[in-house]
Structure 1
Amino acid sequence: MTRTAEAPPVPAVCIAVWHDEMVLLVRRGREPNKDLWALPGGKVDPGETILEAAKRELFEETNLRAELHDIFHRKEIVGAGFHYQLHCLSAVNPAGELRAGDDASEARWYSPDDIATLQTVPGLTEILRRSRADSPPAP
């Protein structure tokens, strides 16, 4: 495995928000992976818990709030100049008016079948599969 990051790992979050069999994705507006579709998320700020970061990032990137569940998956992402320890949470019952913000250039709901037609970040399909196993059906 080739290592390219020169700094210690940075904790980060991603949130799989499900509603009516659709998942919320954002188009990344910045590197890494600019213009690829991904789950909302980002870095954990100093002094912030994983849950607090997930709530903040979801709102900053999508203008939505949701009922968050525990971490269902962890993944390390190492690339040219970055090393993230990604904590993935699932969420249901989104509330608010969807609007892209912060470093997301677009935010949309997609069915799992639609995702196959998108240019996505590496590993998104596996994370979504795991998130569905973690998310109980909404009432």
Structure 2
Amino acid sequence: MKDLPRISVGLVVWREDEVLLIRRANPPFQGCWSIPGGKVEFGETLHQAGLREVLEETGIRAQVDTLIDVFESITEHGHYVMADFSAHWLGGEPEAGDDALEAAFFSLEDALRLVAWDDTRTALRQSAQTRIG
């Protein structure tokens, strides 16, 4: 029997006109750039999970603004249902932490070029079009 789908969350965190990315330490897309995020733990809301993951992976404190979209990934690594949110930076400087090899803010143009997955590029574009301040 296959594992059930896993719920995960990602945050597109903006600091002025720059967006936060991590270089992933683990599969899927190990070594590739993406938005910070991860699995939702039992008892967490999606917002709580996203903020926890951003803090653990990058040291950045953020506030969730709006839902961007829900995406799915079905690979040999599993079936993930990913809720991506726009967020804005509250404090901290990016430093690679849990599950991240690197963490940094990039211009939207650079971020779109760096990320490995089309759905992540879609989330970045949609967030840029609708973001608050």
Structure 1 stretches of 4+ with a deviation exceeding 3 A read none
Q: 1:24 aligns with which of 20, 24, 28?
A: 20
Q: Tell me, in whole angstroms, the C-alpha distance in 2 between the residues paired with 1:126 and 1:117.
A: 12
Deviations 1:52-78 (A, max 9, x none): 101100100010111211322101111
Q: 1:37 Cα shift?
A: 0.3
Q: Tell me, in whole angstroms, the C-alpha distance in 2 between the residues paired with 1:115 and 1:135.
A: 16
**Range with greater deviation from structure 2 (25-34 or 85-94):** 85-94
Q: Tell me, in whole angstroms, the C-alpha distance in 1 between the residues paired with 2:112 and 2:66.
A: 27
User: C-alpha root-mean-square deviation of aligned residues, in Å?
Assistant: 1.6
- The one-letter code sitting in structure 1 at the alignment partner of 2:3 is A
Q: 2:79 aligns with which of 79, 83, 86?
A: 83
Aligned residues with identical type, % of pairs = 35
- 8 Å Cα contact 1:17/1:94 also seen in 2: no
Aligned residues: 133
The structure in which a higher percent of residues are helix is 2
- 8 Å Cα contact 1:64/1:94 also seen in 2: yes
Q: 1:130 aligns with which of 99, 110, 126?
A: 126
Residue number in structure 1 paired with 2:35 = 39
Q: 1:63 aligns with which of 59, 75, 85?
A: 59
Residue number in structure 1 paired with 2:105 = 109
- 8 Å Cα contact 2:112/2:124 also seen in 1: no
**Range with greater deviation from structure 2 (33-42 or 64-73):** 64-73
SS in 1 for 2:79: strand
- 8 Å Cα contact 1:27/1:37 also seen in 2: yes
- The one-letter code sitting in structure 1 at the alignment partner of 2:74 is V
- 8 Å Cα contact 2:8/2:80 also seen in 1: yes
Which one has a bigger Cα radius of gyration?
1
